[in-house]
Structure 1
Amino acid sequence: MNIAIAGATGALGTRITKSLIANGATVKALVRPGTDPSRLLPITKQGVEIAELNLDSPQELTRALQGTDCLISALLGLREVMVETQTTLLDAALKARVPRFIPSDYAMDFTRLTPGTNRNLDLHRDFQQRLDRSGIQATSILNGMFMDLLTGEAPFYLWKIRRVLCWGSPEQKMDFTTMDDTAAFTARAALDPTSPRWLKIAGDQRSARELAAIASNITGKPFKTLRPGGLPVLAAIINVARKLNSAPSEPFPAWQGMQYMHNMYEGKALMTDLANNRYPGMNWTTVQNLLTDFLQTRKV
C-alpha cells in the first residue's frame, strides 16, 4: 500500500513511519520546506520518499496525495494545526480520492469528556466534527497517556521521595501505552482497509496504588501514594496556573499537563472495549516492562 504521513519527523511520526516500512508499505512523508535535514535523516534512511510542500496549500497537497491508499496525520499543535491544517489535509485527501484518513487523535477517550474541560482535547473534538461530515473512511486511534512519560515529563512518579502523585482515588485505573506500541498499532491500522471509526488501545491500565507497588517491586524499596488534595484542589491550581500562563501559544504548558492528569484521575476517559487483540503479533509493553528497563541504571 501507498501511505502518506504528515508529522513524520516527530517523535510519534518517526515511529509510525518505521513500523509502516517494516510492514512492507511504501511511505511518503509530507514535510514543510526548509525542514532541518537532521530531522529528515531518520526517515530517509528507511527509504521514505520526502515531499516538501506547503501543508496549508490544498493544491500542493492534492498533487502529492495522488495514488495514496491512506493518509496518516501525526501533527501536533494548537487550533492552527490540529483543526485548520488537518482540515486542509482532509480536503486535499478528498480531492485526490484518498479512501482513508487517520487523524492525529492519539490521546485518552476525549469523546467521553465534558466539552470545555481540556483545551487540547477540545481541538480533537472540533476536528472530529469536520471529519465525520466529510464522508471519508476515518479511523481514530485512542491510546490513553504515552507510557514513556512516566519516566520523566509526567509528574506521576516523584522518584526522589519514592511517591506516586495522586489526585482523587488511588484506586482509579488509568490508560498507558508506549509510543512504540501506539506507532506499531497505527501502522497496522493504516494497512487494514476494514479498520473501524474508533480503535482504543492500552498497553496497561494501572491505578496510582498499583504504580507505587510496581516501583516497590522493581527497586525493592517502599513506594507510596502522595495525595496533596482531591480533584477540586487540582482544578483550582489549574485555573490559577492558566491565568498566569505567559505563553498561551504553547501546546503543552504546565497547566495543560495538569489538566490531562485531572481527566485521568476523574475516570471518565478510561477506555473499554479495547482493540489490543485486533492485530496478531502485537507485544504490548506494560508499566512493569518500561520501568524495569528505566530503573536499571537509575539510583532510586
Structure 2
Amino acid sequence: MTDTIVLAGATGDLGGRIAAALLKRGAAVRALVRADTPRDRVEALGRLGAEIVLVRFADSAAMTNACRGASCVVSALSGLEDVIITAQGQLLNAAVSAGVPRFIPSDFALDYRAIPPGLNRNFDLRRHFRRNLDTAPIRATSIWNGGFMDMLSGQMPLIQRPIYRVLYWQDPYVRFPLTTKDDTAAFTAAAALDPDAPRDLHIAGSSVSARDLVRIMEGVTGERYKLFRAGTLRGLSRLIGFTRTLFPQKGEVFPAWQGMQYLHNMFAGLAPAEGTDNDRYPGISWTRAEDLLAR
C-alpha cells in the first residue's frame, strides 16, 4: 500500500526537494498550496507528480479534509510568527483532527534545544512551536541537520575566496554540523515513511571547524588559505544588537542580524557536532564539505 504524505511548503526550496525525494521513494505526495502561490511554482510541483491541493490554512474543516488518510504530515514552512506558530499550528491541528499518526515540523537547523532563548529569533519561534507540538496527541520527529552546507558557496560568509581567508569568531577549532539541502530532503523523506522514527534525529554531511575549512579549501583549490579572526563572540553579540537596532527589518525572515545570530550559534559550539543518525536509512549518499566546495 502506498503511503500518502501531506507536505506543506512544497513550493519552497527545501520543500520542493522533499517532495521530489518522497516521490522517488514511491510515496504519494499531497502538497498543500496557498491559492496565491505563483503559478509557475505550482505547475513545477505538479510536473514532479505531486497532488496539488489549494488551501487556506485558517479553514480548519478544509485543512482537516486535506490531511485525511495521510500517514505523516511534513512541514517545510518558512516564515515568522504568522507562519511558524500560527499557520504551522493550524496544520498541526488539522493533522490531529484527521487522525494522522505522525508530524515532522519545520525545524531543519542546529539543535536549538541547547541554545539559550534570545540568541536566535527564528529558533525562538520554533522553540515555541515545539512546546505546542509536544502537548499534541501525535507522534513527532524533528530533523536536526545543522547549517545548510550549500550556503558555504556564497550566503554564509565564512570562505572569502578573493582574499584566500576563512573567517571565524572566538575559536577556529569549534566544530559545527553542515548538511546539503538535497541530503536533508532525502533523509526527511525516509523519516516521513518510517513509522518508528524517534522524536529527534541528527544528521550531518560534514562536521567542520574554521581550521578544517582552511585545509579543505587548500586541498580543492591548490591555493594557500589562512584563518581570519573576525572577533570574539561577545563582540559579535554587540554587532548583532547594533545592527538589529539600526536596521530592524522586522518583517524579514533573514535580515542581516539574523544571519549573524546563526553564525554566533555555530561558533558558540552548543549544538551537537558529533553523533549522527546518518546510518539509519541506507542508500543516502552524504555530500561532504570537500565534495561541495570542489564543484
Bucket of the pairwise TM-score, normalised by the shorter protein: over 0.9
Q: CA deviation at 1:272?
A: 3.8
Aligned to 1:93: 95
Q: Shift of the alpha carbon at 1:159?
A: 1.3
TM-superposed deviation, 1:41: 2.6
Q: Does 1:211 align with 2:213?
A: yes
Q: Distance in 1 between matches of 2:13 and 2:173?
A: 31
Q: What is the CA distance between 1:271 and its match in structure 2? A: 3.6
Q: CA deviation at 1:35?
A: 1.6
In the other structure, the counterpart of 2:271 is 269
Displacement of 1:229: 1.1
8 Å contact kept, 2:207–2:274: no
Q: Report matched runs for 1:142-153 at 5 Å.
A: 142-153=144-155
In the TM superposition, residue 185 of structure 1 has moved relative to its aligned partner by 0.1
Aligned to 1:298: none
Within 1, Cα distance between the matches of 2:255 and 2:153?
18
Structure 2 contact 207–273 (Cα < 8 Å) conserved: no
The residue correspondences of 1:1-300 to structure 2 (distance < 5 A) are 1-293=3-295
Structure 1: gaps (5+ residues): 294-300
2: CA distance between counterparts of 1:240 and 1:67?
A: 49
User: What are structure 2's unaligned runs of at least 5 residues?
Assistant: none
- Cα drift, residue 42 of structure 1: 2.5
**Secondary structure at the counterpart of residue 45 of structure 1:** helix
More displaced stretch, 74-83 vs 55-64:
55-64
Partners of 2:49 and 2:230 in 1: how far apart?
A: 50
How far the C-alpha of 1:228 sits from its partner, in A, is 2.3
Aligned residue pairs: how many? Answer: 293
What SS does structure 2 have at the residue aligned with 1:221? coil
In structure 2, distance between residues paired with 1:161 and 1:272: 31
Deviation for aligned residue 1:246: 4.4
- C-alpha distance 61-231 of structure 1, shift in aligned 2 (>3 A): same
Q: CA contact under 8 A between 1:26 and 1:48: conserved in structure 2?
A: yes
The residue type paired with residue 101 of structure 1 is F
Runs of 4 or more consecutive aligned structure 1 residues displaced over 4 Å after TM superposition: none
Alpha-carbon contact 1:14-1:42 (below 8 Å) kept: no
Aligned CA-pair RMSD:
0.9
Q: Is the 8 A contact 2:177 2:273 kept in 1?
A: yes
SS in 2 for 1:164: strand
1:56 counterpart letter in structure 2: A
Q: Write the distance in 2 (CA, Å) between the matches of 1:250 and 1:270.
A: 28
Aligned to 2:278, the other structure's residue is in SS state coil
Matched-pair contact (CA < 8 Å) for 1:200–1:271: no
Contact 1:264-1:270 at 8 Å conserved across structures:
no
For residues 243 and 122 of structure 1, what CA distance do their matches in structure 2 show? 19
Alignment TM-score, normalising by the size of structure 2: 0.98
Name the SS of the counterpart of 1:101 in structure 2: strand
Output the TM-score relative to the length of structure 1: 0.96
Match of 1:254, as an amino acid? Answer: A
- Structure 2 distance, partners of 1:272, 1:156, is 21
Determine the C-alpha separation between the residues in 2 that align with 1:78 and 1:271. 27
